[in-house]
Amino acid sequence: MSSNKKYWKSVEELNEDSSIVKALQQNEFVEEIPVDEFLGDKETLENSSTTRRDFLKYVGFSTAAASLVACEGPIRKSIPYVVQPDEIVPGEANYYASTIADGFDFANILVKTREGRPIKIERNMLSENNGSVNARVHASVLSLYDANRLQSPSVDGEDVTWEDFESSLSDKLNGTTGDVVLLTQTFASPSTSRLIKEFTTKYANVRHVIYDTVSSSEALDAFNNKYGVRALADYNFSEAEVIVSIGADFLGDWQGGGFDSSYAKSRIPNHGKMSRHYQFEANMSLSGANSDIRVPVTPSQQQQVLNALTGGSTSGLPESVAELVSKAKADLQKAESKGVIITSLPDVSAQTKVLTYNESVSSVAMETAKPKMVRKGNTAEVMSVLNGVISGSVKGMITVGVDPVYSFPNNEEFTEAYSNLDLTVAFTMKEDATAEIASLVAATPHYLESWGDSQIKKGTFGLMQPTIRPLFDTKQFQDCLLKLTGNSKSYYDYIQETWTSILGGSSWNQALHDGIYVSDVAVETEEMPLSEGGMENSTSHGAMSSTSQEGGLELTLYTKTAMGDGQQANNPWLQEMPDPITRASWDNYVTVSAADATELGLENHNVANGGLNGSYVNVNMGDVVLENVPVLIQPGQAKGSVGLALGYGKTAAVQYEMQTGVNAYTLYENFSSVQNVTLEKVSGEHEFACVQLQNTMMGRDIIRETSLEIFNTKDHSEWNAMPMVSKDHQEIAVTDPEADLWTSFDRSIGHHFNLSIDLNACTGCGSCVIACHAENNVPVVGKLEVRRSRDMHWLRIDRYYSSEDTFGDDTEKKDSTKGLSIVSALSEMETASANPQVAFQPVMCQHCNHAPCETVCPVAATSHGRQGQNQMAYNRCVGTRYCANNCPYKVRRFNWFLYSENDEFDYNMNNDLGRMVLNPDVVVRSRGVMEKCSMCIQMTQKTILDAKKEGRSIKGDEFKTACSAACESGAMVFGDINDHDSEVSKLHKGNRMYHLLEAVGTKPNVMYQVKVRNS
Ligand code: SF4
Residue 958 CA to ligand 1 center (angstroms) comes to: 19
Tell me the DSSP string of 707-726: EHHHHHHS-HHHHSPPPEEE
Residue 577 CA to ligand 1 center (angstroms) comes to: 13
Is 245 in contact with 277 (CB distance < 8 Å)? yes
Q: Could you report the per-residue pLDDT of 170-214, keeping only the tens digit for each?
A: 999 998 888 999 999 999 999 999 999 999 999 999 999 999 999
Residue 255 CA to ligand 1 center (angstroms) comes to: 20
Residue 70 has pLDDT above 60, yes or no: no
Is 922 in contact with 774 (CB distance < 8 Å)? no
Looking only at the bridges linking them, the beta strands covering 440-443 and 242-246 are unpaired
Q: Ligand 1 atom 3: the closest Cα is on which residue?
A: 967
Mean pLDDT confidence for 95-118? 95
Mean pLDDT confidence for 743-761? 91
For residue 972, the ligand 1 atom closest to its alpha carbon is 1
Residue 760 CA to ligand 1 center (angstroms) comes to: 11
Residue 1010 CA to ligand 1 center (angstroms) comes to: 15
Nearest to 242 by CA among 949, 786, 1014: 1014
Residue 63 has pLDDT above 90, yes or no: no
Q: What integer pLDDT is reported at residue 537 of this predicted model?
A: 41
The 10 Å Cβ neighbour count of residue 16 is 7
Q: What integer pLDDT is reported at residue 562 of this predicted model?
A: 95
pLDDT band at 79 (very low <50, low <70, confident <90, very high): confident
Nearest to 135 by CA among 576, 562, 774: 562
For residue 763, the ligand 1 atom closest to its alpha carbon is 7
Residue 8 has pLDDT above 80, yes or no: no
571's CB contacts (< 8 A; 6+ apart) are 139, 140, 142, 143, 146, 658
For residue 766, the ligand 1 atom closest to its alpha carbon is 5
Residue 766 CA to ligand 1 center (angstroms) comes to: 5
User: What is the rounded CA–CA span in Å between residue 269 and residue 581?
Assistant: 25
Is 453 in contact with 473 (CB distance < 8 Å)? no
More confident position, 809 or 544: 809
Q: What is the DSSP letter of 465?
A: -
Secondary structure class of 697 (helix, strand, coil): coil
Q: What integer pLDDT is reported at residue 23 of this predicted model?
A: 67
Secondary structure class of 326 (helix, strand, coil): helix
Cα Rg of the chain, angstroms: 31
Q: What integer pLDDT is reported at residue 268 of this predicted model?
A: 92
Residue 454 has pLDDT above 50, yes or no: yes
Is 770 in contact with 979 (CB distance < 8 Å)? no
Is 453 in contact with 501 (CB distance < 8 Å)? no
In angstroms, the Cα distances linking 35 to 50, 58, 591 are 12, 10, 72
User: What is the rounded CA–CA span in Å between residue 44 and residue 949?
Assistant: 62
Looking only at the bridges linking them, the beta strands covering 705-707 and 674-690 are unpaired
Looking only at the bridges linking them, the beta strands covering 590-592 and 624-633 are parallel
Paired strand residues for 429:
none
User: What is the rounded CA–CA span in Å between residue 943 and residue 839?
Assistant: 33
CB distance 762 to ligand 1 below 6 Å: yes
Paired strand residues for 341:
244
Element (H, E) at 20: helix 19-26
| Helix orientation angle between 190-202 and 477-484, rounded to the nearest 10 degrees | 40
Residue 798 CA to ligand 1 center (angstroms) comes to: 11
Q: Sheet harboring 339-343: ordered strands across?
A: 293-296, 276-281, 242-246, 339-343
For a substitution probing ligand 1, which of 123, 579, 767, 973 has the most ligand atoms within 8 Å of its CB?
Answer: 767
For residue 966, the ligand 1 atom closest to its alpha carbon is 3
Q: Could you report the per-residue pLDDT of 656-688, keeping only the tens digit for each?
A: 999 999 999 999 999 999 999 999 999 999 999
For a substitution probing ligand 1, which of 763, 794, 799 has the most ligand atoms within 8 Å of its CB?
Answer: 763
Highest mean pLDDT pick, 267-276, 541-550, 796-805: 796-805
Q: What integer pLDDT is reported at residue 526 of this predicted model?
A: 61
Q: What is the DSSP letter of 835?
A: S
Secondary structure class of 377 (helix, strand, coil): coil
Q: Ligand 1 atom 7: the closest Cα is on which residue?
A: 762
Residue 759 CA to ligand 1 center (angstroms) comes to: 9
Is 223 in contact with 232 (CB distance < 8 Å)? yes
Paired strand residues for 842:
797
Q: Ligand 1 atom 2: the closest Cα is on which residue?
A: 967
User: What is the rounded CA–CA span in Å between residue 599 and residue 481?
Assistant: 56
Mean pLDDT confidence for 9-14? 70
Is 382 in contact with 576 (CB distance < 8 Å)? no
For a substitution probing ligand 1, which of 287, 769, 841, 967 has the most ligand atoms within 8 Å of its CB?
Answer: 967
135's CB contacts (< 8 A; 6+ apart) are 561, 562, 574, 577, 765, 766, 767, 769, 770
Q: Could you report the per-residue pLDDT of 928-960, keeping only the tens digit for each?
A: 999 999 999 999 999 999 999 999 999 878 999
User: What is the rounded CA–CA span in Å between residue 115 and residue 304?
Assistant: 58
Looking only at the bridges linking them, the beta strands covering 423-428 and 394-400 are parallel
Q: Locate the DSSP E strands across 539-596.
A: 553-558, 584-585, 590-592
Is 482 in contact with 192 (CB distance < 8 Å)? no
3-state helix, strand, coil in the chain (%, to 5): 35, 20, 45
CB distance 588 to ligand 1 below 6 Å: no
Q: What integer pLDDT is reported at residue 43 of this predicted model?
A: 60
Residue 763 has pLDDT above 70, yes or no: yes
In angstroms, the Cα distances linking 86 to 244, 358, 509, 515 are 54, 54, 18, 21
CB distance 839 to ligand 1 below 6 Å: no
Residue 677 CA to ligand 1 center (angstroms) comes to: 34
Nearest to 324 by CA among 314, 333, 338: 314
Q: Ligand 1 atom 6: the closest Cα is on which residue?
A: 762
Q: What is the DSSP letter of 779?
A: P
Paired strand residues for 686:
614
CB distance 842 to ligand 1 below 6 Å: yes
What is the chain's length? Answer: 1015
Is 274 in contact with 1014 (CB distance < 8 Å)? yes
Tell me the DSSP string of 618-665: EEEETTEEEEEEEEEE-TTPPTTEEEEESS----TT--GGG--S--GG
Residue 700 has pLDDT above 80, yes or no: yes
CB distance 580 to ligand 1 below 6 Å: no
Residue 719 has pLDDT above 90, yes or no: yes
The dihedral built from the CA positions of residue 136, 137, 138 and 141, taken in this order, carries a sign that is positive
Q: What integer pLDDT is reported at residue 411 of this predicted model?
A: 82
CA 294 distance to own-chain centroid = 24
Highest mean pLDDT pick, 16-20, 601-605, 695-699, 724-728: 601-605
Residue 389 CA to ligand 1 center (angstroms) comes to: 44
Residue 21 has pLDDT above 80, yes or no: no
Of 22-31, 300-309, 644-653, the one with minimum mean pLDDT is 22-31
Element (H, E) at 54: helix 52-71
CB distance 765 to ligand 1 below 6 Å: yes
CB distance 188 to ligand 1 below 6 Å: no
User: What is the rounded CA–CA span in Å between residue 711 and residue 727?
Assistant: 30
Looking only at the bridges linking them, the beta strands covering 862-864 and 870-872 are antiparallel
Of 51-60, 310-319, 829-838, the one with minimum mean pLDDT is 51-60
Element (H, E) at 305: helix 299-309
Mean pLDDT confidence for 4-22? 70
Q: What integer pLDDT is reported at residue 955 of this predicted model?
A: 81
Residue 583 CA to ligand 1 center (angstroms) comes to: 15
Q: What is the DSSP letter of 430?
A: B
Mean pLDDT confidence for 813-828? 88
CB distance 764 to ligand 1 below 6 Å: yes
For residue 797, the ligand 1 atom closest to its alpha carbon is 5
Q: Ligand 1 atom 8: the closest Cα is on which residue?
A: 765
Angle (CA) 581-583-587 rounded to 5° is: 105
Mean pLDDT confidence for 245-259? 95
CA 154 distance to own-chain centroid = 33
CB distance 767 to ligand 1 below 6 Å: yes
CB distance 756 to ligand 1 below 6 Å: no
Q: What number of helices (H) and strands (E) belong to the chain?
A: 34, 41
For residue 795, the ligand 1 atom closest to its alpha carbon is 4
Q: How many CA atoms lie within 13 A of 385 on its CB side?
A: 28
Residue 653 CA to ligand 1 center (angstroms) comes to: 31
Residue 532 has pLDDT above 70, yes or no: no
CB distance 841 to ligand 1 below 6 Å: no
Q: Alpha helices of 430-538 — where are they, by DSSP H? A: 433-437, 477-484, 491-503, 508-514, 534-537
Q: Write the burial class of residue 433 (CB in 10 Å: 0-12 exposed, 13-18 middle, 19+ buried).
A: buried
CB distance 771 to ligand 1 below 6 Å: no
User: What is the rounded CA–CA span in Å between residue 588 and residue 561?
Assistant: 12
Q: What integer pLDDT is reported at residue 668 of this predicted model?
A: 95
Residue 547 has pLDDT above 50, yes or no: no
Q: Could you report the per-residue pLDDT of 373-402, keeping only the tens digit for each?
A: 999 999 999 999 999 999 999 999 999 999
Of 81-95, 446-460, 472-486, the one with minimum mean pLDDT is 81-95
pTM > 0.75: yes or no: yes
CB distance 137 to ligand 1 below 6 Å: no
CB distance 763 to ligand 1 below 6 Å: yes
For residue 767, the ligand 1 atom closest to its alpha carbon is 3
The 10 Å Cβ neighbour count of residue 856 is 16
For a substitution probing ligand 1, which of 260, 768, 794 has the most ligand atoms within 8 Å of its CB?
Answer: 768
869's CB contacts (< 8 A; 6+ apart) are 753, 847, 934, 935, 937, 1005
Residue 137 CA to ligand 1 center (angstroms) comes to: 14
pLDDT averaged over every residue in the chain: 90
Q: Could you report the per-residue pLDDT of 916-934, keeping only the tens digit for each?
A: 999 999 999 999 999 999 9
Q: What integer pLDDT is reported at residue 5 of this predicted model?
A: 66
Residue 799 CA to ligand 1 center (angstroms) comes to: 12
For a substitution probing ligand 1, which of 797, 843, 844 has the most ligand atoms within 8 Å of its CB?
Answer: 797
Q: What integer pLDDT is reported at residue 462 of this predicted model?
A: 95
Q: Ligand 1 atom 4: the closest Cα is on which residue?
A: 768
Residue 603 CA to ligand 1 center (angstroms) comes to: 31
Mean pLDDT confidence for 866-885? 94
Tell me the DSSP string of 897-938: S--SS-GGG-SGGGSTTGGGG--TTSPPP-TT-EE-----HH
